């Protein structure tokens, strides 16, 4: 059995300076799965000038593609959107000749600052995370021929809480558990 080639694409707009949990998830993920390729968009493209061919080659080389991001305004951050807009283009990822991603596994891995209770049908928001995030992921998978796997997500890990030592410790535990769940999902895919 061949080992799966895993590409984790971090869509956080400033992972190095403005993240606690997503950064920890990625570090723990890399510790658990050191052979995985990490594509930290905020390090590579702080100016949002995506090197399309390089990014497409990373996607071609992968068997499993993980999109790791914090939920910003009920969606992926702008940098991840820009990366998708530039990289997933007709003739590469879709269209009659765009077959580069067919059969690859796609996993949405994300975090929210708000607690899970905020994302319920009965909440003031009126939507679950699956209703907010997963329709776009389903569309991406359908258009590109990728196989969408179960999402991995963690709620209630707001960056604003980083200065409370007790809350920060709880967030670190959640981040490590998130990374472990993500690795299990990949191993079972």
Mean pLDDT in runs of 10 for the chain (189 residues)? 86 89 96 97 97 98 98 94 97 95 98 91 87 94 97 90 84 95 94
* Cα–Cα distance, 42 to 14 (Å, whole number): 5
Q: Note the pLDDT of residue 2.
A: 52
Q: Note the pLDDT of residue 1.
A: 39
Structure tokens at 28: 């723990």
Cα 139–Cα 25–Cα 3 angle in degrees, nearest 5: 70
* pTM to 2 decimal places: 0.94
* Cα–Cα distance, 47 to 36 (Å, whole number): 25
Pairing of strands 64-70, 105-111: parallel
Structure tokens at 56: 């497409």
Count of CB atoms situated within 10 Å of the CB of 76 = 23
Q: Note the pLDDT of residue 17.
A: 83
């Amino acid at each position: 059995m061949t080992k799966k080639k895993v590409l984790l694409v971090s869509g956080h707009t400033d992972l190095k300076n403005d993240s606690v949990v997503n950064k920890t998830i990625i570090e723990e993920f890399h510790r658990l799965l050191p052979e995985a390729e990490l594509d930290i968009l905020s390090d590579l493209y702080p100016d949002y000038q995506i090197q399309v061919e390089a990014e497409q080659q990373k996607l071609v080389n992968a068997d499993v593609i993980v999109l790791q991001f914090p939920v910003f305004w009920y969606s992926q951050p702008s940098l991840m959107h820009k990366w998708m807009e530039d990289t997933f283009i007709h003739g590469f990822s879709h269209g009659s000749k765009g077959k580069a991603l067919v059969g690859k596994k796609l996993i949405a891995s994300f975090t929210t600052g708000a607690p899970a209770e905020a994302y319920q049908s009965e909440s003031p928001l009126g939507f679950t995370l699956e209703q907010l995030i997963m329709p776009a992921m389903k569309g991406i998978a359908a258009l590109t021929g990728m196989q969408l796997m179960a999402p991995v997500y963690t709620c209630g890990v707001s960056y604003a809480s980083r200065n409370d030592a007790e809350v920060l410790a709880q967030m670190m535990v959640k981040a490590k558990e998130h990374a472990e769940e993500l690795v299990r999902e990949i191993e079972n895919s």
